[in-house]
A and B are shown apart, each in its own frame.
Chain A
Amino acid sequence: MSKHAKIEKNIGLMGVLIALVVSMGGLVEIVPLMFQTSVIEAHPNLKPYTALEFAGRDIYIAEGCYNCHSQQIRPFVDETLRYGHYSQANEFVYDHPFQWGSKRTGPDLHRVGGKYTNEWHEYHLMDPRSVVPESNMPGYPWFAEKLVDAEQTAAGMKVHAKWFGVPYTQEQLDSAQADVDGKTQLEAVIAYLQVLGTAIPRSYK
């Protein structure tokens, strides 16, 4: 039997060899990155999300904002003139999972932190068309009434600290539930939006 026939007639062996071939790309392109300091060490200005920001991030994910918004400014001049400094890997080390996204129905949000006032975000999230008449973003009027799930927020932060190595202090973990108790989803989402991308100053110069 030729080698060819041997492989073709032994599905187990073929499976192993296919897996080996397919994993090669990842092995050279991804695995070494997981050990490279410039990628896995946090940017010096980056802070772990506060409890309120953390809760806002959960809502961002739950509502599927990432279906329309990316959070990665690519190193192209047209993007940096529009959105500010390009994104760096070390700005996302506390994001589990990161919200890079791949769909831009709306603008990239990576450096939206500080771009608008809280009032603008309030108007905009309640009814985007009240400030941007051309917008096709849906409104989220229930954000103002619904409260943050404080218990889940505190539990989530603990998981991030324990399993993902996010450097929360014991104090932060202990006060997390009280920190967000009674806060609206609106406050949480805005707090999250306002801290996005602030590790590197926004500039369009």
Chain B
Amino acid sequence: MEMTSGWSLFIIVIVVAHIIGYSYLLWSTSKMKSDGHKEGETTGHEWDGIEEYNNPLPRWWLFMFIFTIIFAIGYLILYPGMGNYKGTLGWTEENAWAKENEQVLAKRAELFSTFIDKPIPAMIQDEKAMAIGERLFANHCSTCHGSDAQGAVGFPNLTDNDWLYGGEPDTLVQTITNGRVGVMPAWGSALGDDGVKQVAAYVRHFSEEGQDEDLVAKGKGKFAMFCAACHGADAKGNHLMGAPNLTDATWLHSFDSGRVESILLEGISGKMPAHGNILDEGSIKVLAAYVYSLSHE
């Protein structure tokens, strides 16, 4: 961060010249003869009846100026301001940040030490841990999963104990640390429009009455062939693939009519970003515990 000595000198010269110049200005104006006028007399100038006194600065005002000059000299000795001179305190913005950061991290480690070694099901009983988890969630997760963690279209609800990848403590830590990518391929070319309608009807019939029975029957066979590998023969989903349970009324993506068909035609994917490289292990564990607490007492 050093600058060349030429620029350093440039700054020093201007700063020193200013301090000397202003000191002189103060000294000379406080001594200056006021053109023969006495205190309390006017200069003789008059504009529209407004006259101008020629009094010296009030004392307290003068002292304020003197104080700012003394302050500036003190500041320039303690802090960097004179070109490359570093100041006796050795203060830099970077160091100031690093020092404060260290203090905060130490404080956090101390705070965490009261609960961080507990297994997650026990940690959720710790009010402090949960309060911290809530703040961390608000900062790092809420924009995708909602501040109430109930999700949005394409972003899973984390409060309902219905999991894409599983809600066991270790699985949650895994999900948050490494992220997840759920990919559902496009089926338009394999199934054709009719085939898509049939499996869509079959998928819907689990949670919605009144599907066309003929379509459902045809869809059932196709489902076993094309879909069971990921969603399971019973369509109850598969945590290894992140394939959702299709038999309940909980949908990751919107299930409005027509939407199922378009998901099947075009495919869809969802990505939970990895947080292992951006959050510390302790915070991840607290977050996992917080998520766990949303569906457990």
Residue pair B104, A77 in contact (C-beta under 8 Å): yes
In B146-166, the 8 Å CB interface with A consists of 146-147, 152-155
Which one of B94, B140, B146, B270 contacts A133 once the chains associate, using CB atoms below 8 Å? B146
**Bound Cα distance A175, B238 (Å):** 46
- Is A82 engaged at the interface, CB distance under 8 Å to the other chain? yes
User: 3 shortest A-B CB distances, which residue pairs?
Assistant: A75-B97, A32-B7, A203-B278
- Is B93 engaged at the interface, CB distance under 8 Å to the other chain? yes
**Bound Cα distance A2, B252 (Å):** 84
**Bound Cα distance A74, B139 (Å):** 17
Nearest B residue to A202 via CB reads B278
CB distance from A22 to the nearest CB of B (A): 13
Q: Mark B66-110, 1 if CB is under 8 A from A, else 0.
A: 000000000000000000000000000110110011001000000
**Bound Cα distance A146, B219 (Å):** 40
- Is B277 engaged at the interface, CB distance under 8 Å to the other chain? yes
Cβ–Cβ < 8 Å partners of B100 in chain A: 76-77
Which one of B93, B140, B144 contacts A204 once the chains associate, using CB atoms below 8 Å? B140
Residue pair A123, B278 in contact (C-beta under 8 Å): no
Residue pair B280, A205 in contact (C-beta under 8 Å): yes
- Is A81 engaged at the interface, CB distance under 8 Å to the other chain? yes
Most buried by B among A38, A76, A130, A205: A205
Most buried by A among B100, B143, B283: B143
- Is B271 engaged at the interface, CB distance under 8 Å to the other chain? yes
Nearest B residue to A111 via CB reads B278
Which one of A38, A84, A115, A119 contacts B154 once the chains associate, using CB atoms below 8 Å? A119
**Bound Cα distance A133, B146 (Å):** 8
In A191-205, the 8 Å CB interface with B consists of 201-205
Interface size on A, residues (CB 8 A): 34
Q: Mark A20-37, 1 if CB is under 8 A from B, else 0.
A: 000010011000100110
**Bound Cα distance A130, B153 (Å):** 8
**Bound Cα distance A164, B117 (Å):** 55
- Is A142 engaged at the interface, CB distance under 8 Å to the other chain? no
**A119-B154, A123-B153 known; A27+B4 contact, CB < 8 A:** no
Which one of B3, B18, B93, B273 contacts A117 once the chains associate, using CB atoms below 8 Å? B273
- Is A80 engaged at the interface, CB distance under 8 Å to the other chain? yes
Cβ–Cβ < 8 Å partners of B139 in chain A: 82
Residue pair A75, B96 in contact (C-beta under 8 Å): yes
Q: What would 10 A/B residue contacts be, using CB atoms closer than 8 Å?
A: A32-B11, A35-B7, A75-B93, A80-B97, A116-B144, A119-B271, A123-B154, A131-B146, A132-B147, A133-B146
Interface range on chain B (Cβ under 8 Å from partner): 35 or more
- Is B15 engaged at the interface, CB distance under 8 Å to the other chain? yes
Cβ–Cβ < 8 Å partners of B270 in chain A: 119
Cβ–Cβ < 8 Å partners of A84 in chain B: 278
Which one of B7, B11, B35, B153 contacts A2 once the chains associate, using CB atoms below 8 Å? B35
- Is B122 engaged at the interface, CB distance under 8 Å to the other chain? no
CB distance from B138 to the nearest CB of A (A): 10
- Is A171 engaged at the interface, CB distance under 8 Å to the other chain? no
Residue pair B140, A28 in contact (C-beta under 8 Å): no
Residue pair A80, B101 in contact (C-beta under 8 Å): yes
Cβ–Cβ < 8 Å partners of A76 in chain B: 97, 100
Residue pair A32, B271 in contact (C-beta under 8 Å): no
CB distance from A14 to the nearest CB of B (A): 16
Cβ–Cβ < 8 Å partners of B14 in chain A: 24, 27-28
**A75-B96, A123-B153, A131-B143 known; A28+B11 contact, CB < 8 A:** yes
Cβ–Cβ < 8 Å partners of B155 in chain A: 120, 131
Which one of A28, A114, A131, A203 contacts B144 once the chains associate, using CB atoms below 8 Å? A131
**Bound Cα distance A120, B3 (Å):** 44
In B7-21, the 8 Å CB interface with A consists of 7, 10-11, 14-15, 18
Which one of A24, A131, A205 contacts B278 once the chains associate, using CB atoms below 8 Å? A205
- Is B190 engaged at the interface, CB distance under 8 Å to the other chain? no
**Bound Cα distance A36, B5 (Å):** 11
